[in-house]
């Protein structure tokens, strides 16, 4: 299935937090906190994605802070935090703000990690697995196709399972890896959100740009499927002027979920 019109909002499995994308009562714009590390370069893109699509207002949170300022959701953006010293995300996971992010996630708050943000969430133990050097040992920056594996999350509730999206990537350490037990659990518990694919949705080695296990491009975790990590950049695909608007529904889904939870 190729990109289609916005799907009807649906219920999803986050009973403990009450998140839902059923008809929203007020649809108040959420306040979204975007973490800023030394070396972040996608923080403004992430913030603008919410503001320009009218899905939320943005608060930028410096890595040394220990207060999330009452935000409704948190984004850990892409970039090269701390210059990717040691390995991507290895130092950022110790930033003071990450302790607050971990507590926020444990309480059921929505957390999105994109590219370097995904790496940081894995390093911090908020998501399983790790991101390592691309299989070809080269930095890759191009558009890719993603297959939506499940709509049973607040992040993908406005997509259809099996739908193919066009989203850009830009990374050198985007190869997702994990042990067999973790991979089997991700598959069994429907935690794989996106896989790299061909335009027709088929999974092939050629469509997997970095050698990720199982062609995994994004996963969900947390106590109530409330933590998303993905290597592709949905914030760079929110309008046709950018080459694709397929990422916009991810941000709209977050707003729907938060509004319905009130």
Residue 176's φ and ψ, nearest 5 degrees, are: -80, 130
pLDDT at 260: 80
pLDDT at 24: 41
pLDDT at 5: 43
Chain centroid to CA 165: how far? 14
Instruction: Assign domain 31-260 to a CATH class.
Output: alpha beta
47-84 confidence digits (pLDDT tens): 999 999 989 999 999 999 999 999 999 999 999 999 98
97-123 confidence digits (pLDDT tens): 999 999 999 999 999 999 999 999 999
> Per the residue annotation, which of 173, 233, 248, 256 is the catalytic one?
233
> Per the residue annotation, which of 115, 122, 178, 197 is the catalytic one?
115
Lookup: tokens for 249: 């529904």
C-alpha angle 112-104-177 in degrees, rounded to nearest 5: 45
Nearest to 97 by CA among 30, 31, 34: 34
pLDDT at 27: 63
**Catalytic residue check, 171:** no
> Per the residue annotation, which of 171, 235, 248, 256 is the catalytic one?
235
**Catalytic residue check, 197:** no
pLDDT at 262: 67
**Catalytic residue check, 54:** no
Residue 222's Cβ-side half-sphere holds a number of Cα atoms within 13 Å equal to 28
Examine the pLDDT at 128 and tell me if it is beyond 90.
yes
């Amino acid at each position: 299935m190729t990109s289609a019109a916005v799907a009807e909002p649906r219920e999803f499995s986050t009973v403990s937090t009450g998140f839902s994308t059923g008809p929203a009562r007020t649809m108040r714009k959420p306040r979204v906190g975007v973490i800023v590390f030394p070396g972040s370069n996608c923080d403004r893109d992430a913030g603008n994605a919410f503001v320009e699509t009218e899905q939320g207002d943005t608060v930028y949170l410096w890595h040394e802070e220990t207060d999330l300022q009452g935000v409704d959701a948190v984004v850990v953006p892409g970039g090269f935090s701390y210059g990717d010293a040691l390995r991507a995300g290895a130092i950022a996971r110790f930033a003071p703000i990450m302790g607050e992010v971990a507590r926020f996630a444990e309480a059921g708050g929505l957390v999105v990690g994109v590219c370097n943000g995904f790496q940081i969430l894995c390093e911090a133990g908020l998501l399983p697995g790790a991101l390592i050097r691309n299989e070809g040992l080269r930095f890759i920056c191009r558009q890719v196709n993603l297959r939506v594996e499940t709509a049973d999350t607040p992040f993908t509730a406005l997509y259809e399972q099996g739908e193919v999206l066009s989203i850009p990537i830009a990374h050198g350490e985007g190869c997702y890896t994990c042990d067999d037990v973790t991979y089997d659990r991700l598959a069994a518990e429907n935690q794989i959100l996106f896989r790299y694919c061909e335009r027709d949705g088929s999974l092939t080695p050629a469509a997997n740009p970095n050698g990720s296990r199982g062609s995994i491009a994004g996963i969900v975790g947390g106590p109530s499927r409330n933590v998303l990590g993905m290597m592709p950049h949905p914030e760079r695909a929110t309008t046709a002027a950018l080459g694709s608007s397929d990422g916009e529904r991810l941000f709209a889904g977050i707003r729907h979920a938060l509004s319905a939870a009130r």
